[in-house]
Structure formats: structure tokens, C-alpha cells
Amino acid sequence: MRTDAHGRRAVLSKVKTGELDVEEATRLLLAGTEPAPAPAPRDRVLAWLAGLVAEEARVPVEQIVPEERLDRHGFDSVMALNLVRALERDLGKLPATLLFEYQTPATLADYLLDRHGEALGRRFGATSTTGAGPVGGGAPLPEPTTVAAPEGPQEHSDHVAIVGLSCRFPLADDLDEFWANLAAGRDCITEVPASRWDVARHFDPVPGKPGKTYSRWGGFIRDVDAFDNAFFSISPREAERMDPQERLFLQEVWHALEDAGLSRSHLSGAAVGVYVGVMYSQYQLYQAEQALYGNPLYLGSSYASIANRVSHYFDFRGPSLALDSMCSSSLTALHLAADALRRGAITAAVVGGVNLTIHPAKHADLSQGRFASTDGRCRSFGAGGDGYVPGEGIGVAVLKPLSAAIADGDRVHAVILASAIGHGGRTSGYSVPNPAEQTRLIRAALRDAGVDPADVGYVEAHGTGTALGDPIEVRALAQALGARASGTPACAIGSVKSNIGHLEAAAGIAGLVKTVLQMRHRTLAPTLHADPPNPHLDLDAAGLRVPRSVEDWTPPESGLRTAGLSSFGAGGANAHVVVREFRPAPAPALAPGPQLILLSAQTPERLRTVAAGLAAEADAHTGGGAASWLASAAYTLRVGREALDHRLALVTADTADLGRRLRAFAGAGAAGDLVVGTADGSTRPAEGDQTRVADLLARRALAELGELWVRGAAIDWSTLDSPRPPKTTLPGYPFLRERHWPRLAGPPDAAVFPRTSSHPLLHRNESTFHRQRFVTSFDGASPLVRDHEVNGRALLPAAAVVEMVLAAGRRSGLAGSLRLQDTVLEAPIEVPPDARCEIAVELVQAEPGISFTVSDPDGRSVYARGRLAAGASPAPDRIDVEALAATCGPPLDAETCYRTLAGNGLRYGRALRVLDDVRLGQGRVLARFRLPEQSGTAPYEVHPALLDGAFQALVGFRVDGPGPARVPFVIDEVATTGTEPPGTGWIQVTARAAGGQADVFDLAVADDSGRVAIRVSGLAVRPAATKPPATPATTPWCCGRSGDPPRCPTLEQPLWTAGPCSSSTAPTWATRSAEPGPGPASWRCGRATVGSGQTVTVTGSTPPIPASTTACWRTWRRRRIRRWASSTPGRTRRRARTPR
């Protein structure tokens, strides 16, 4: 008999099957054995492998973590082969593909111990007297890492648990927002947003017009173009090429696994199947379309990649399938996944559907076939329904065998009792349903579920809202459920399509999410547009009813709410699922006490957002049950969330304290009494420290454990909690919404989104013979908005406004060097987080030169105005970098600069972080800048990040301590030199005031050699508003007018007034300083005296003007005040300008 590992496994296998008894097996295993080298201890093998890996990767051995993949250290095929050759020196011939099969040191060690144990024993000098079994008589060594399936049926083996859910639907980014919309009876259908396509180009109200659509409605998700590519280690180029359905489904899978309390590392390598329903692939339509405009693109639209991308990223080893059975796709995917779980083929499943409408072709197709609703309503079971409204969405469910979910302590949302799929066969038309087959299908699912039809309290119907489709479905459902006994309530039916439209391939998963949420809240949501009812329905006779308002869902006598769910494909492929609520066993009592809270994110900015989300959740749990929620939340965060690089830990015994501390961190970014840091491989505990970790766990030394974890320690938290708290729902990871979309060419009137302009900040040209006008759309995901916060508000940077005006001038035919003059930034441009904001730039010929305004499209809100000029490029100009540096102090690093700016209320994301260092001299600052990678400078006149970086350099004057955020207000001139702006170089800032706090500056931006590319003269700054400005007053003020002085809506204090003047022909207007001193102000003609002695005087003749910030500062600009000064108490300093 063979006495190697293969022979021993064969004997043990026969013992399990009964072919050998234990005594005979023992005799065979021990017969003829000789002392042989024993397998080496696993820790010594791991240490040996770590040294070899570190040597090949050229990194410190302390950075090698057994459970981390080798590609983290840059391993490629050459390095992998080198490592195999190094192993062969001690172990003999090995497969060349070894490291492609075993991709971590831990799995490689297990393989080598199992297959080459004797060689390893000789390598480490270990011997054994038996030659069988591990040293010390421990448990047998594990089998090589393979995809393992469950070992046969267990209790509840026919039942499948839904342990995780996630969704993004129209006007709902998560489950809570979706339920709020359902409970409120909200219709989430809108007209096609201008950000998708130009409806006017494709719309015709008369059905049947070739290439046109009579529908201009749909259910649209937010930010369809956004994706956090860096989180998933996907390059921007690859992210742009990926179908948005692939990108967004990947993010929602992450959220669903978070909801399930299952981390990526926990499931890596497991037999997890991925099943996704999808039926439209529109992204590549742009590739074909753009070829007609000479704009070649390479865009991906593979159904398979939607599923395969998930399996690849999470390292799932089960089936990975994308299914298209049209409108039943996602329920068919659910059926196949549940079947695989029941058969034991997989241990868990990720199931879902995705459907996007990113091109007008779908609307045109639906209109040509008369499938689309003519009024933008899905009238499920209602009169007047003539079609459906397409909707977008992504839904994901995580499934496990119910017995496994209970054993693992998973939170079970609901239980899938049974499902059935089938086809309607041949009917009178390809898209005509077969009610008899629908009846058979529903009956089969109920039979397999073992459910009495009378116990079904709700059915989420297909319910597309068509005149004949709904009656056919109701008839089939009535036949399947049978007549209700006397006194038995009618079964409620509804359709989520009335709220969000028909999600087509994702319709089934949307219905499942709605059904599960109704079970969670024990409430039935209303179905919209069902009054008056479809005249072809006889709901009373069918024993059915349609809830028109929110109502309690009363359970049947059996005690558990049960529901059916139908999806019927247009081609006849049908699916039905039976779902029942789950009531867990009572949770063990949890004693109040301190809890260890762990948070992590990919970047520091996201970590603050994560903290803010948990703070809000903690605020909702400050009453009864707060201690139990805190224990569950802490447990879920420790065992059910992936540990990312940027980490935070804190110990707390109170939800109010948790919320307070997290809000403080989220707002200021300062750690305070929290433990905050970055996981670093070089600081992970050595093998010997695991004993210390075990001791800390036993003593429940939470603070020390949290600190170790923040530094990067891999800690098994399973022993910390006894009894184990139940998992709970917590906010999902706040993915960065960064735009990834190809730049598209097109006809002049093409849509704003995707962009058709050659400039990234000018999206639509609306110019006429009388004026030049460009309109641009921004949203919260626009990098310039997302990465620019002022006092907590997402604002478009002033630098972006400057570039928009310069670019508009260039595209209007201006040549040479461009100059912005007398620019007043009257109001900030705030972009709401959940909507788009359109900004119009308008140029008009004026005397002298060209005037510009930046406003909303209607012109009601003016944000900036000034003049634009063009001329010959100025003579070359340089700054002496070396001489300037010699007069400045030591450099402040970027981290210090941006921390100071954040303390002042100015937060910058990576798109705008351009400062490398800042040096402060006497009245001047010298800063080194570098544009972010892939930013480039073309086709910009002045790259917004570059100009904003110049404004950021003012931080050099504020390093001594925090102060209010100051932002650009008035600019004498921004001048370009006609040369391309540099990607790296220097910024010089000179303060015009020699003492006190400077408010006016001159700036120069130069390349590495000191050659100036941009000059900014007379930049005046002001404190930023801490809340949205009030509506400016428009009452005119003139000499002799009585009353209080007018107030600046931004500074919230009087700015200027006029008193009785001595000359009726030459009135004098006075302005007040922006920084009042203590005490009341006195106002008089030609002079405004502030209580502290500060004054500012403007003399000259001017007509009465509105008492508003705009008019006040426009007058100030016309007077061209050249010198500002500050006074000290008891001293008055006059600031004047001679009249023209």
C-alpha cells in the first residue's frame, strides 16, 4: 500500500464510506512505515516563504502578510517563475503555474505542506517516528485550497435565506430612501433629464414617426456616469471603457455584502455564485454613432462581464452568469441561484439585475412597437393604461442556505421557500402571454413551497399597466390562488412599476426588494394610478384587491407573512417566487458596557464621510435599545466589514457619545481622542505578537486592540463577543462619485450629456448673432465641485468661473493674450448634492471691449460679471525663483498647508490639491505646485486647478492659526501670456498691505524656469459666507434718504449709505469697511466712520444705485481704489480716490 499522502487519503476515504473498519485502516496506515521526516511546522514554512517573497519583491520581510495576495507586491509572471525556481532548489520539480494557483503565502504553504511535507521536513531537519500525521498529534493537515461545496442536506435545506440587500432605483440611492418613496406613494418618474439627451431632437407626439419617440419620460437613477474606479483598482481609462451597468452593479454588490455582514476577505476563494439579469446593452451604441462623426471610441458592453467582473474582483469560484430572459431575467437568475444552493453546488450566491437607459434608441424602439406609455405613467391595474415607462435600477440580494445563515448568526431579511420558471409556449403572438401557463407556474411554485394559497397575503405582480396584460395576469393569479373561503380577506396585489417604472431585466429584483421591505415594516405600500381601475378587471370576484394607501399588513393565522412575486418576459419566459418573512429567535440579553467601534475607508476624505454616516445612524438610536444597537453595530463593523487602509477606532459605551465624537471628526478631520491612522504592512505585529493579541482579546482590552488594528494588525474578532450580538444594518460605503464617460462629438444641437463641446467646462453653445452664450451643467460628482468645499458647502471654484469666461472668449473668436478685467464675483455658485446646476456664460459687445456675466440660465441669479479683452501677447516675463526662495523661510509641506486650509473651512480633494510646499517671506509667499496626474493643461486657457492652487497659496499668510475662510471677491485683472500653462512650477504671491491682515494680493504663476504664464493683479478676498446669502435688497438709496444703512447680504453688515450732502450736483457716496470694530457706526456724507476708527471714503459723482453688494462693489471698482489700509483703535486712516 502507498504510505504517502495520496495513500493515506484513500484509506481514510474508505473508512468514511464503510469499506474499511477503523482497525484495518490503522493496520494499513502503520504497516511497513519507517521513520521519515515529519512535516515542518507551518509557521516556519511561512517565515521561509516570506523571506523568499520579500527577496524577490525587494521589500522588507515585515511587509509580507501570509493572507495577502502576491500581486500586492508587484508580482508578475517573471517574478512568479523566479520564486518557483527558488523553491525547487529545496523541494524538487514544481509546476511552473504554481503561483497562479496559490496566490498567497498562506495557501502556498498549505499546498507545500500537503504535497511536499517530507521535503520540507528534511529542509528544516524535523523527524518523526510514525511517518503519518502532523507533528504533535494535532488535527490532519487541510486539503489544498479548492472550491468546496456544502456536505449534503441539513435542516431547512430546501429553504434559502436572503441575508443581504442593496439597491439604487429612481430617486433612491439606498434601501431607506426607496422605502420612504414607497411609503409616501411617490411617483419617481420624470421627464428625460437634459443630462441624458436632448428630448426635443427625438420627440414627436405622433406615434409611428420613424426614428422618433412619443415618450419623453422615464425612471432615472442619479449619477449614472459616476464610479469610484480607484476603490476597485481600475484605471480611469478602463473605467471609461466599461459599460456603466458593469460598474454600478459592482458597487451595489459591495453594498449588498456589507448589508449581509460578509467581507470580501471572508468570501475570497469560496464557492459563491454570481447570477445577474440584464437585457439592454446601449453603451456601444455610442461607439457606432461616434464613428459617423470621426470620433473613434472603444467601449465595452459585454453581458458576461457584468457577472464576471464581480467574480474576479471578489475572488468567487462559483458559477458566474449573466442571464437575458427579457423582463423575467433577474427572477430567473434568482431561481437558478436558489436551485444551486439547494443542490449544494455553491455555499452562497450574489443575485441581481441591472438596467440603464443611457441612449435614446430604447425610447425610439419602444415607441415604434407601441410599448411605451403615452402619458408617462405606469397605470398598474388602472384604467387608461396603454404601455409602460422604462425605468433604471440596480438591485442585489445575497443568498445562503437558511440553516447556514442561522448557524453563522446572519441577519435574515426573508426566506425564499420555492421558485419556478417556464415558458408560455406558442400563443397568438410572440409577445402575447399565456394565462394557463402563468397559472401552472404559480401553482408549481406554491406546491414546492408547501404553502396553502389562502396563506398568501400579498403578490407583487408583473403589472405593467396595459389594458389587456393586467387582466390576463389577474385571471391567471385568481385561478392559481383559488377562491377565498368566506371571511378570508382578499389577497393584496401591487406593482412597484407604478412608482419607478418598468425596470425590465431588473424588474424582478425591484419587486423582491419592495416585498422584503414590506415584510420588514409589516406594511403594504400603495400602488399608484390604479384609480379608476381597469374596467376589464373583476378584482372582487378574483378575491384580490389593490392597496391605494399605506396600510398594515396583517399576518395570516399561521403567523408568518407570505408573498408571491411574478415576472413575465415579453418573449414568454416566466418566473414566480414564493417568499416568507423570517422571525429570528430572541437575541440574548446584552449587558451595557464599552464597545470597540472600527471604521475604515480607502482615503482620509472617505473616512470622514463614513464617520458622518455612522454618526447619523447613532443619533437615531439614542432611546430605548441603544445599548443593544451599539453592541450589534460594533460587532457588525468588526466582523462584517472589509478593513481598508485608512482606519479609525474608538471605545464608547453610549450612542450619544459615539455620534458626538464622530461628528467632530467628520467636520474637522482632527483625530482628537480617536485612534486614526493608516494600515502599514511594516507596522503589523510579528508572529510572536499574536500571543499578546490573544491576551488582549481575553482581557477585552478594547483600546489597545483598536490601536493595533488601526496600525494594520490582522485580528480574529470571533472570540471577543460572548454571547454573539446579532448583526445589524449600517450605512454602506460612500463611494466616490467621479465621472467616467467618453467625450462625444456630435451635431451642434446635440445633448449636453454626454458632452459635445471641445472644452470640458463649456458643454452647450447657445450663441446668436447678438451675443455669445455657453451653458454648462455641474453636479455634486463633478470633480471641481466635489473637491471644493467652503464652510461645508460644495461650491464651484472661482478659478473655474475664470476659465469658463476665458474659454468662452477663445471659442468666440478672440485671439492673442486674453485678459479678464474688473471682475466681481458677486455670489458663490453652490451645487446641490442631488441635482444638476446649469451655469450660463454670456459675452456682449460693450464700450469699451466685451462685457461678461456668469449667471443661471434664466439670468435671475448673477454670480460674476466683468470685462474681457484680447490683444498681443506681452513681452516675456520672469520671476527669480532662487532669489525669492532665499528671502523666504523653510518650506511648509503640503499636508500642513491643506490641514491649515481645512481648519479655516476650505477643504480640497485630490483634483485640486496642487501645492507641494509653501514658503513665507516678508509680505510674500513662494509656493511650488504640481498638477494632478492625468489633469493635463490642454485645452484650458488657465487650468482651474492651477489657478485655484495660486489662490490656495494665500495659506502662507495664515499658518499661525485658524481663521475664517477667505475667498476671491474682486480681481483687477487676470492676464495670460499666450503660452501653454505649465504642469509644474512656481507661484509667487505678494501682499499689497505691509501691515495688518492683507486683503489684496498680486499673483504670478511661472514654469520651472521662472517664466511667467499667468498674472493676477489686485485680487481682493473676503470672508466666505457660512450660510446661503439672503436675497439682495433692491431699494435705491440716494442723498437725503433716511433709515438704516443697507446691509451686505453676504457679510451681513452695513456696507454704505449716503447722508445729506453739501452739493446737489456732486453727491458723495460712502462705503463702510468689511471689518467693523466695536460700537455703533456713524454715517455722514462723504465719510463713514466705524466705531473703532476705521474709515473708507469714496468721493465723486455717481447716480443713485441699488443698495446691494453688487452695486456697492461695482461702484468701488469704478472708482479703482488703489490702496487699502487698516487702522488701530484711536487712529483714523483715510482711503481716497480723486474723481475722474
Task: Kindly compute the dihedral angle of the four CA atoms of residues 141, 147, 151, 155, in this order, to the nearest 10 degrees.
Answer: 120
Burial class of 1050 by CB neighbour count within 10 A (0 to 12, 13 to 18, 19+): buried
Q: What are phi and psi of 509, to 5 degrees?
A: -70, -30
Q: How far apart are CA 168 and CA 25, in angstroms?
A: 58
- Round to whole Å and give the CA distance between 251 and 149: 27
C-alpha cell at 783: 470633480
Count, in order, helices (H) and strands (E) of the chain. Answer: 33, 43
- How many residues would you count in the chain? 1140
680 three-state secondary structure: coil
- Tell me the one-letter amino acid at 305: S
Q: Is the distance from CB of 565 to CB of 460 less than 8 angstroms?
A: yes
Q: What is the torsional sign of CA 649, 653, 657, 658?
A: positive
Q: For residue 155, count other CB atoms closer than 10 A to its CB.
A: 11
With a CB cutoff of 8 Å and minimum separation 6, the contacts of 861 are 827, 855
408, 371 Cβ separation under 8 angstroms: no
Helix 655-668 and helix 604-619: axis angle, to 10°? Answer: 150
Question: Is there a contact between 949 and 915 (Cβ–Cβ < 8 Å)?
Answer: yes
Q: Which residue in 436, 519, 440, 452 sits closest to 484, CA to CA? A: 452
Largest CA distance in the chain: 125
Cβ-contact 333, 575 below 8 angstroms: no
| Distance, CA of 220 to CA of 528 (rounded, Å) | 18
Do residues 1014 and 974 lie in contact, with contact meaning Cβ atoms separated by under 8 Å? yes
- In SS3 terms, 410-436 reads as CCCCEEEEEEEEEECCCCCCCCCCCHH
Nearest alpha-carbon partner for 143 in 22, 327, 6: 6
Structural element, H or E, at residue 840: strand 837-845
| Mode of pairing for the β-strands spanning 573-580 and 1069-1071 | unpaired
How does DSSP classify residue 585?
Answer: P
CB 390 within 8 A of CB 502: yes
Residue of 880, 894, 888, 903 lying closest to 929 (CA atoms): 894
> 79: helix, coil or strand?
helix
784, 1056, 1049: which is closest to 935 by C-alpha?
784
Q: Which residues pair with 167 in a beta bridge?
A: 395
Torsion sign, CA atoms 396, 400, 401, 403: negative
Active site residue ranges: 788, 948
Q: For residue 1070, give every residue at least 6 positions away whose Cβ sits within 8 Å of its Cβ, in sequence order, or none.
A: 1056, 1057, 1058, 1059, 1083, 1084, 1085, 1086, 1087, 1088, 1096, 1097, 1098
163: left (phi over 0), alpha (psi -120 to 50) or beta: alpha
- Grid cell at residue 506: 431588473
Torsion over CA: 198, 202, 207, 211 (sign): negative
